[in-house]
Structure 1
Amino acid sequence: MAATTVEADGSGLLAGSVQIPVADGALLPAYRAAPEGAKGPLPTVIVVQEVFGVHEHIQAVCRRLAKSGYLAIAPELYFRQGDPRKFPDIDQLMKLVLSVPDAQVLADLDATTGWAARNGGDARRIAMTGFCWGGRIVWLYAARNPSLKAAVAWYGRLAGTASANTPKQPLDVAADIRVPVLGLYGGQDKGIPAESVAQMRAALKAAKAPAEIVVYPDAGHGFNADYRPSYNEAAARDGWQKMLAWFRQNGV
C-alpha cells in the first residue's frame, strides 16, 4: 500500500498501536494518535477504516486529527477474520470483507468508544468518521448510538442487497438517525449512483434527521485517498475542512 502524500508525521504526537478489550474476550488492535502531553479528557474521533484496513492512509488521518487537538482511534475491524494487508488480490480481499458481520463491527465500535472514554477521551465529546466501507458503517453506527455528538461519512455505500452479514443499509436506518451526520460524496462515483444519494437525502428529510449530504460534482469514489489515482485534491481539502467544522459546530 503506497504511503499517503498529505503531510501527517508523528511529531508532537503520542501515536501507535493499542489493544482494546471487546465483549468476547478478544483484544481488538487499533491505531491511536493524540497530542503529546495534552491534558484530557480530549475530544475524540473514532476513525472507521477503508475496505483496505487500517493502513498508512488511515493512520495518517488519525495523525492529522490529532494535530487538530483530537484523540483519534482507528480499530482493526476485520481482525477476527483476517488481515487485509495480506490480500493483494482484490477479489480475495472482498471475500474477507464480506465475511465480516455488521453486528460484530458495531459491537466492536461500542467497545472502542468505551475504551476512548477511559483512556484520555471525553465521553461527552465523541465523534466518528469513516471512508468507503467505513463511510457506510458510520451511517449504521449513527443510527445505533445516539450518544455520538457528530459523524462524517465519506463516500459510504447507501443502498444494497441484504445478506446475513449485512442485513441493513444506511437507507434502511435513515429514520433512526438522531446524530448530526455529514455525508461527503463524489458526483462521478461509479459505485454509488446519484439516485441512491437522492433517496438518502429524501429519507433523512422525511425523518427530520439532523443530517446533510454534500456532493462534489467532479470527484469520484475515494476522492480523499491521497495515495490512489482517485484523489481529488480540491474536494479532499474542502471535505476535510467541512468535517472539522461539522465537529466543532456540534460540540466536538
Structure 2
Amino acid sequence: MEQQVLAGFARSSFSYAGLVHDVYRAGAGPAVIVIHEMPGVHPGVVAFARRLVDAGYTVYLPSLVGRPGEPHSSAAICRSVARACVAREFAMLTDRTSGVVTWLRALAARAFAECGGVGVVGMCFSGGFALATALEPAVVAAVVSQPALPAPIGRRRRAALGLAPDDQRRIQQRAQDDGLCVLGLRFTRDRQSPPERFETLRRTLGAAFESIEIDSSPGNPHGIPENAHSVLTVDLVDEPGHPTRDALDRVMALFAERLGPRPARSADAS
C-alpha cells in the first residue's frame, strides 16, 4: 500500500532532539513541507503533494502518525488520534506549542539548506504546526488549513492557536518584520476548526494573515455539507469555479509568489 501510493517519493529517517520520523521526498526546486492531517499520509494528502511536485517544488512529507498510504477512514482516524493523544510530542488539549514543532523547525532548516526558500502546509491536527514551524526564519509562507488543535472545548480553546505565549509573540514579530505570509483555510460550519481561531490569527498577524472561509451552511450554492472539514484533500472538489478548487489555486499562487514560480516538470523528466 505504501509503495503504491507513495511511488516516486524517497523515504528517509530524520532525527532531531530525541524525535525520529520518516520523511518522504520528491521533486526539485524550492521546498514545501506538507504536514499531513489525520489519519496520516493518506492518498488525498499525497495527491496534494504531487500537485506541488508537478508545479516545480521539492516536497517534504513527514509521517507523524498513522500508516503511510492507508486510505482515509473513520477506523484509521480513531487509531491515529489514540496514538497522538498518548504521545508527548503532540499537545492535543492544552494551548501550548507541541513538542513535535522543534523537530519540524529542524526539518525546515534542513530543507532550506538543501533547496532554498521554504513554505509549509499544515492540516487539521497539524494546522497550527505550520504556523509554529514558521518561527524558523527559512519559512517565508505558511498555509494553516482547518487548524483543529487544541481541541476546541470551551471559549478560550476555541480561540487558541496552540502556541506558547512567547512563540505567539515571536510569530507576530516575524509577520511584522520579516514579511511572513500566512494563509488560513476553513469551512464556515466546521466545528473542529472554529471561527474564533481565525479571529485570533487576524488580531495577531494583521495584514500578514489572509483567510479563505468556504460557505458550508445549509443551502449553500455548491452543496457543500455542513460536516466538511478537509479543504485540500477529502472535501476538495477539483472543478474550476468550485470554492475548494479556488482555495487550492490560491495556495499554489501563494507559493509561486513567495518561493518563486517554477517551471512544471515535463512528462518525461527523470
Q: Return the alpha-carbon distance in structure 2 between the equivalents of residues 96 and 75 of structure 1.
A: 16
1:31 corresponds, among 24, 45, 52, to: 24
One-letter amino acid of the structure 2 residue matched with residue 106 of structure 1: V
CA distance in 1, matches of 2:13, 2:6: 22
Letter in 2 for 1:76: S
Does 2:107 align with 1:116?
no
| Contact 2:188-2:195 at 8 Å conserved across structures | yes
Q: Is 1:223 aligned to 2:221, yes or no? A: no
Q: Which residue of 2 aligns with 1:4?
A: none
CA contact (8 A) 1:171 1:200 kept: no
Deviations 1:196-236 (A, max 9, x none): 3233323333xxx622211111353113223xxx4444233
Q: Contact 2:127/2:147 (CA < 8 Å) preserved in 1?
A: yes
Question: What pairs up with 1:85-124 in 2 under 5 angstroms?
Answer: 88=75, 90-100=77-87, 101-102=89-90, 103-119=98-114, 121-122=115-116
Name stretches of at least 5 consecutive residues in structure 2 with no aligned partner: 91-97, 155-159, 175-179, 217-223, 261-270
How many residues are paired up? 219
Amino acid at match of 1:181: V
CA drift of 1:136 comes to 1.9
1:5-39 C-alpha deviation (Å, 9 max, x unpaired): xxx996xxx52322223333x6531111104xxxx
Structure 1 stretches of 5 or more lacking a match? 2-7, 36-41
Distance 1:191 1:112, change over 3 A: same
Q: What is the SS of the residue equivalent to 1:28?
A: strand
Change in CA separation of 1:249 and 1:51 when aligned onto 2, cut-off 3 Å: same
Q: Counterpart of 1:61?
A: 48
RMSD: 3.2
C-alpha contact 2:123 2:146 (8 A) present in aligned 1: yes
Indicate the SS of the match to 1:157.
coil
Number of the residue aligned with 2:93: none
> In structure 2, what residue type is equivalent to 1:109?
L
Match of 2:16 in 1: 22
Q: Is the 8 A contact 1:158 1:170 kept in 2?
A: no
User: How many angstroms does 1:176 deviate by?
Assistant: 2.9
Query: 2:118 aligns to what?
Result: 126
Equivalent-residue separation in structure 2 for 1:147 and 1:246 (angstroms): 16
Per-residue deviation at 1:168? 6.4
Q: TM-score, normalised by structure 2?
A: 0.68
Counterparts of 1:141 and 1:153 in 2: how far apart (Å)? Answer: 11
Partners of 1:31 and 1:54 within 8 A in 2: no
SS in 2 for 1:128: strand
Deviation at 1:45, TM superposition (A): 0.2
Asked if structure 1 preserves the Cα contact closer than 8 Å seen for 2:108 and 2:139, the reply is no
**Structure 1 residue 251 corresponds to structure 2 residue 259:** yes
* Cα displacement (A) at 1:141: 1.9
Q: Quick check: 1:46–1:129 contact (8 Å CA) kept in 2?
A: yes
In structure 2, the residue corresponding to 1:53 is in which secondary structure? coil
Moved over 4 A (4+): 82-87, 158-162, 170-174
- The alignment-based identity, stated in percent, is 25
Equivalent residues of 2:26, 2:59 under 8 A apart:
yes
Q: Show the counterpart of 2:31.
A: 44
Partner of 1:195: 196
